[in-house]
A and B are shown apart, each in its own frame.
Chain A
Amino acid sequence: MTRFGIYASAVALAAAGCTGTVGGTGVSTGTNTGTGTGSAGSTGITTGSAGTTGVATGTGGASAATCAASASLAPARIWRLTDAEYVNVVAQVFGVRVPAEVTEADTKPADFSNFSEAPALTAQSATVTAYQRAAHAAATAAVGANLGIFLPCGKAPTDACVQGFIRNRVARAFGRLVTDGEVQDLLAMYHTGLAESVAAGARMIIEATLQSPSFLYRTELGPQAAGGPTGKVKLTPFELAAAVSFALLDSVPDDELWGHAVDGTLATPAVLAKQVDRLLATPAAQANLGKQAGFWLGVEKLQSIVPKSATLFPAWTPAVQQDLYDSARLFVQDLMGTGTMGDLLSSRRMFLNANLAKVYGIPGVTSTDLQPVDVQAPGRASGIFTQPAILAAWSHPDRGDAVHRGLFIYNAFVCGPTIPPPPPNAQTVAATFPADATQRELATLRATNAAGCGACHALFDPLGLSTENYDPIGRYTTTDEKGQPVDSSATLRGLGPDLDGPISGLPDVVAKLKGGRRATDCASRNLAAIVLGRSVATDTSCAFQDVKDHFAQTGSFAEYFHAMLTSPGFATRDVAP
């Protein structure tokens, strides 16, 4: 029920501050060393709102020479299903789609939050009660719709028929074969329900299944060991199948993948690779990866913004906001399927309908559905950065926002040293700035004032200023809020030799990002958090290093997911001593 927005890492990092002398690339230690424990796993990607920390420490992580050779990509763990996953699995296994709010109100978070160790994923008492209700409702609906499919053996199903249902469906929900003992228990339960009806018996089996920890928690524990695993374990074929399937589809394995878990062939690298590629090519996987990557790329942020000022931006309507969100989702989804980092940073593609095209001044679009258009109009050549959805997401309702646009670019593509939260006097200092100051004037005030705001803001404000050609709803403009010609030049400092230096606008930022490994390494880190459910900011495994190297060479998102899911480190788990 609770989702805390402020996490442990902020405590120590605030003290570290932005010294301005922090290094750029390479192994970066120090800022995180010996810092607070607590909500481990809660950091990682955020889309850069002030007050939350972004991806921690420098871009390099381990280099090939120093990486940990046998380290796994995740610890041994159990991981409670999100509500979205619950809905997906119930639909897939029992054929009914239940309402989205299984355990908690759907609040459209801007940041990725499905970290296996996130406090929000620890069940509260109300969560368990909510599961009881959801299970009862889902089971009742499933039996009402599909009893004849579950028990296709007449009006008085035999025990063997019921056992068949248990061994088929319940196993799929559990992600493993059911034991003989479980079959007997569920069969006995069926007979209890039979006092009412066949349907009640089947309902009870499903109801029990949907409340069982075997369903509610994905396990990554390796072969069963009393007292839990120790050392390093290899995922069972069932666990590996689930890990791959949840990463790609946010649901349990489909029939073919399940078959390879049952016969154990998934442990064969060639079989695993083929399955990963098969699933990656499905629209369902691309849609899911697009949704998840949207947390990294600021798309989800658009769902929770304060609406733009109706006075200043009459063109901004709820319909435009929704269309923009859908448009950005499609842009990202498209890239996750067949695109590259190069496309992400410099594609001219936009998904437009007639209404959006009118608002953004793109000629020649008449469709009411969103269609891909390679836009030739000025200022739309920088991929994700020039998607109006993202520009609007990182703007105030009535004015620009160089700070958060800069932070977004910094957290999503630069992965420089962690930006601590603003100090306690930040609002007091900001209140002394002229009310009518432009974004550029504000940036100058922050960079030069005696309070020292520049120590941190100098790292990301210039990135934000490079987007000055876009108004708060993401329209391209050449005049600023005071009617003066837009100046989107700036000088990047403190980010590293690959980025530092003068820029004359967004295209220059993109050119610098495309010039080296900076952006791909940062993307690797952000995507890893999504796939692994943990922050890899301090990961030193060779497994992750190899994934990063491969992605840097190919730039292909499909290749990235392939490399990650077929990595030896993905198939094992380490147990903390």
Chain B
Amino acid sequence: MSETNVKGSTMKRPSLLSRHIPRRTFLAGVGTTAAGTLLRPLFASAAGASPTRLLIVHRPCGTYPVDFFPQTGDATNFTLPSILQPFTPVKDQMTILNGIYCPRDHGWAGDQHGAGLITMMSGKRPIEIPGTSSGGDPNAKNQQAAGLSFDQMMVKTAASGLGGTAVPSIQSTAYRPSSIGLPNFKVMSYDASGALFPESRPDTLFNNVFGASMPGLSAADLERLRTQNKSILDFVSKDLTRLRGLVPKSQLPKLDAHLDGLTSLQAKLTATVPSGGGAPACKGPAQATPPAQTGDLTIDEAQHKVVAQNQMAIILAAFQCDLTRVATFSFAHGNSALRFMKIIPGFDQTNGAGHHDLSHQMDRTDLHSLVDQFYSQQLVTMLQAMKATPDGAGTLLDNTLVVYLNECCYGWSHSIENMPLLMFGGKNLKLQTGRHLKFNMRYMNDVWAAVATAMGVPMNTYGDTAFSTGAVSGVFG
């Protein structure tokens, strides 16, 4: 509280009863540090069926393509360059897409990172947030997607089988500034209501996903909790209905929005625990305690790696428990100020530039590629965990399509040609893995159209038709 910041203030505490709750105690109620095993999935689909999941991961600030794309060999026989080397353990479940263009014109107004991310995800030219102005900023930071992002379109399209879960989808990041302010270069997912900001705090994300399901509780305790929550939320609903009948028309949108949130919360907290066996065990996410901010490290720098792993572990657990089937995760946004000299061992200690600034240093591609390699290492940890998680007849990685993208190609020029693009897993979609696939200038929209088609939503063009030339072939068998 702010008043305690004022030294010498005579302000009294508001109540004699006041008692500070240590943050640890506050969080303990949701079991954020627990990695307990649930007796059975909370919201499992019919036993035996293994749904397809979609995970889209974003790392920012472009890349140095020479260190990203294999420079020799052919489609199946190639050597992984430095950035991709960490993916060696999953090389046979990886597809490199070479020659995919960001579906936009370089001349479009707007922050290049923002336009890139929005366009990669939505396939259309960004629009200004209704009711806002660019404020004269040539980077026009007040932009958002013109429609649904690909992940949200899949959630909303019944044929994909990706919707209908207790938690419709997850949006997360490992960089606090990505969660606040204008959506522009920070937000991957857009639904009909606009930007879905990614959550940067693992404890909050945990609760948003798992609610009070509390991995680790016994079946009897879970059932009691469900009964209690139902009783509480029934009262809250009744109160909302009462108030709704008393407000003037101008105030209804506030309560309608609240009702939407409450409906989704009710579904999450009171869903019936399925009886009968057959589904594999569903585990709560392993969560490490992020280190505290120290010295001149920002809180994000100190915590980036652990938070990234925690966020991905939550996604993994949510997939495994079938709480959700769609997630987007952004390591950080395109103007990331993370100083990797502080967090990557062996990094050139004289280069104090943040990630974005570093990406503009044409003479330090060596360092920029080290950052990309760091992100490969972070992602491969998640991929290997998915690979080790049984799911249906195979593994969670088999049943998940992981798309790993960036908002530009060359970081220093914000180039939009030949985007660094990878896919992993997707065995149930017949993703042609272990390949280095070369395309002759095809748009990301054509890739999304192929993904949708593979997921049971036949599609020839996705996004802006001026930036679509039909679904690419050869990615899915």
Contact = CB atoms under 8 A, between A and B. Distances in A.
Mutual binders A and B: yes
Interface string B199-215: 11100100110011000
B15 interface: yes
Interface stretch (B24-32, B148-156, B363-371): B24-32
Contacts of A145: 17, 19
Interface in B120-151: 129-138, 141-142
A211 B131 contact: no
A524 to B, nearest CB: 25
Interface stretch (A73-81, A393-401, A478-486): A73-81
B20 to A, nearest CB: 5
A55 interface: no
B18 A97 contact: yes
B180 interface: yes
Most chain A beta-carbon neighbours within 10 Å: one of B132, B133, B242, B245: B133
B345 interface: no
Interface string B77-94: 000000000000000000
Contacts of A262: none
A140 B132 CA distance: 42
Given A132-B265, A575-B248, A84 B17 contact: no
Interface in A1-23: 1-8, 10-11, 14
Contacts of A370: 7-8
A124 B133 contact: no
Interface stretch (B250-258, B276-284, B316-324, B431-439): B250-258
Contacts of A188: 231
A96 interface: yes
B19 A105 contact: no
A122 to B, nearest CB: 5
Measured as residues with beta carbon below 8 angstroms from the partner, the interface class of chain B is 35 or more
B245 A213 contact: no
A284 interface: yes
Contacts of B129: 4, 6
A229 B240 contact: no
Contacts of A129: 207-208, 211, 261, 264-265, 268
Measured as residues with beta carbon below 8 angstroms from the partner, the interface class of chain A is 35 or more
A439 B238 CA distance: 61
Interface stretch (A192-200, A380-388, A558-566): A192-200
Contacts of B224: 195-196
Contact of A51 (B135, B201, B233): B135
Given A208-B235, A423-B136, A283 B12 contact: yes
Contacts of A196: 224, 228
A331 B197 CA distance: 38
Interface stretch (A24-32, A219-227, A461-469, A491-499): A219-227
Given A14-B133, A38-B131, A422-B136, A78 B254 contact: yes
B179 A105 contact: yes
B276 to A, nearest CB: 25
Contacts of B27: 137
A70 interface: no
B263 to A, nearest CB: 9
Interface in B175-206: 176, 179-183, 195, 197, 199-201, 204
A350 B343 CA distance: 42
B131 A36 contact: yes
Contact of B6 (A189, A208, A287): A287
B182 A421 contact: no
A107 interface: yes
B262 interface: yes
B21 A96 contact: yes
B25 A141 contact: yes
Contacts of A149: 17
B248 A189 contact: no
Contacts of A137: 21, 26-27, 29-30
Given A133-B207, A213-B255, A576-B248, A98 B131 contact: no
A229 B245 contact: no
Interface stretch (A58-66, A322-330, A509-517, A538-546): A322-330
Contact of B180 (A2, A38, A192): A2
Nearest to A200: B228
B30 A189 contact: no
A377 interface: no
A52 B182 CA distance: 13
A330 B9 contact: yes
A371 interface: yes
Nearest to B260: A125
B261 A128 contact: yes
Contacts of B258: 123, 128, 213, 216
Contact of B236 (A76, A212, A221, A426): A212
Contact of B142 (A6, A100, A423): A6
A208 B208 CA distance: 18
A93 B73 CA distance: 70
Contacts of B250: 75, 77, 576
Interface string A75-99: 1111010001001100110111111
A123 B258 CA distance: 5
A217 B195 CA distance: 24
A215 to B, nearest CB: 9
A2 B195 contact: yes
A204 B232 contact: yes
Contacts of A92: 14-15
A351 interface: yes
A427 B134 CA distance: 13
A200 to B, nearest CB: 7
B137 A122 contact: no
Contact of B179 (A1, A39, A204, A575): A1
B246 A132 contact: no
Contacts of A330: 6, 8-9
A34 interface: no
B211 to A, nearest CB: 7
A211 B132 contact: no
A333 B9 contact: yes
A174 to B, nearest CB: 9
A146 interface: yes
B201 A105 contact: yes
A402 to B, nearest CB: 19
Interface in B61-112: none
Contact of A204 (B228, B239, B240, B260): B228
A124 B232 contact: no
B243 A97 contact: no
Contacts of B201: 101, 105
A219 B239 CA distance: 13
A323 B8 CA distance: 11
B255 A3 contact: no
The 6 closest A-B pairs by CB, nearest first: A95-B17, A38-B131, A128-B261, A421-B135, A51-B135, A125-B261
20 contacts: A2-B195, A5-B182, A6-B141, A38-B131, A97-B20, A126-B208, A128-B265, A136-B30, A140-B29, A141-B21, A193-B228, A204-B231, A211-B232, A213-B239, A213-B243, A216-B258, A224-B246, A329-B5, A370-B7, A421-B134
Interface of A: 1-8, 10-11, 14, 36-39, 50-52, 75-78, 80, 84, 87-88, 91-92, 94-101, 104-105, 107, 121-130, 132-133, 136-138, 140-141, 145-146, 149, 182, 185-186, 188-189, 192-193, 195-196, 200, 204, 207-208, 211-214, 216-217, 219, 221, 224-230, 251, 283-284, 286-288, 291, 322-323, 325-326, 329-330, 333, 351, 353, 369-371, 420-428, 575-576
Given A7-B132, A75-B250, A77-B251, 14 more contacts: A6-B134, A91-B14, A95-B15, A122-B253, A126-B199, A128-B261, A128-B264, A141-B25, A189-B231, A213-B240, A219-B243, A229-B248, A286-B11, A423-B136
Interface of B: 1-3, 5-15, 17-21, 23, 25-27, 29-30, 129-138, 141-142, 176, 179-183, 195, 197, 199-201, 204, 207-208, 211-212, 224, 227-228, 231-233, 235-236, 238-240, 242-243, 245-251, 253-255, 257-258, 260-262, 264-265, 268-269
